[in-house]
Amino acid sequence: MKLKNKTGSSKVFHISEEESDFSHVYLATRSRENRLYSDDIVRQLPNIPNDHPHFNEWRLRVQPMKRVLQELSSGSCKHILDLGCGNGWFSSQMASNKQLDITGADINLVELEQAARLFSAQNCRFVYWNIFEKDKAGRKFDVITLDSCLQYFESPKKLITRLLEILQPTGSIFIWDTPIYRGTEVDEAERRSSDYFARLGKSDMNDFYHHHTWDDLAGFYYFLGYNPSTVFSKVKRKFLANDSPFPWIIIPRSGEKA
């Protein structure tokens, strides 16, 4: 993959041209939520001080992160695309396994710059990439991870179809830390989000935050690496409160539907 550095001393490379509509609204919203973290905090993630306002949120990410890392360490995959990598915390966790080669991609340049500053390494790089634009090298990946970012894509079908194009024949897509709703739950979820963004003074975020259902995945073969709806998972979360309420969805290219 031939990459162009367009940011001076930055280690962020560009595959596609910069956009502003989504990233401007997204960053303003994250700022209001106090989710634009300092370098010191990002270096520690997913561990975070107990008195931090988002401590409980990050605590729930530890166990699902460990599941994904374990799967990556036990397979033959090497080239990983961390799509929607943000500040790079999960790219860094994966890159601690020196057998893996990590590409973190996003269209949020502010957090990408932070990720590149903190975590760039021989086996980890960060790129500005609108995934719907093809890179000239036509690089393909063994695994594509989407950590808490599917909700920022309007059409899961369009996204997954595109990602399957850049997967190796034995590759898989991992979707985790993202809510997937039943059809009957969507209206209420949209209302909650709308009220939340209104309280933040960022109602414009409604245009970029989407509520996806299991029906949106109906055209693809997938299975669950983790199912939060089983009795065991529900009991574990009730008494230990240390696991994710969101599924880990695995979409293998080898099983894609025609």
State pLDDT tens for residues 67-124: 999 999 987 889 999 999 999 999 999 999 999 999 999 999 999 999 999 999 999 9
Question: Per-residue DSSP letters for 109-170?
Answer: HHHHHHHHHHH-BTTEEEEE--TTSPPTT---EEEEEEES-GGG-S-HHHHHHHHHHTEEEE
Asked whether the beta carbons of 121 and 95 are under 8 A apart, the reply is yes
**Side chain identity at residue 222, one-letter code:** Y
pLDDT the model gives residue 63: 93
d(CA 81, CA 64): 18
Is 50 exceeded by the pLDDT of residue 9? Answer: no
Q: Long-range pairs for 77-82 at CB < 8 Å and ≥24 separation?
A: 77/142, 77/143, 77/171, 78/142, 79/103, 79/139, 79/140, 79/141, 79/142, 79/143, 79/168, 80/141, 80/142, 80/143, 80/144, 80/145, 81/105, 81/141, 81/143, 81/144, 81/145, 81/166, 82/145, 82/147
If pLDDT is split at 50, 70 and 90, which confidence band does 19 have?
Answer: confident
Domain ranges of the chain: 4-255
Q: How far apart are the first and last CA of the chain?
A: 29
CB atoms within 10 A of CB 212: 21
Whether the predicted pLDDT of 1 surpasses 50: no
Name the nearest CA neighbour of 33 among 212, 186, 205: 205
25 Cβ contact list (under 8 Å, min separation 6): 202, 204, 205, 207, 208
Superfamily name with CATH number, domain 4-255: Vaccinia Virus protein VP39 (3.40.50.150)
The pTM of the full predicted model, rounded to 2 decimals, is 0.93
List pLDDT tens digits, range 230-257.
877 777 777 766 888 999 999 999 765 5
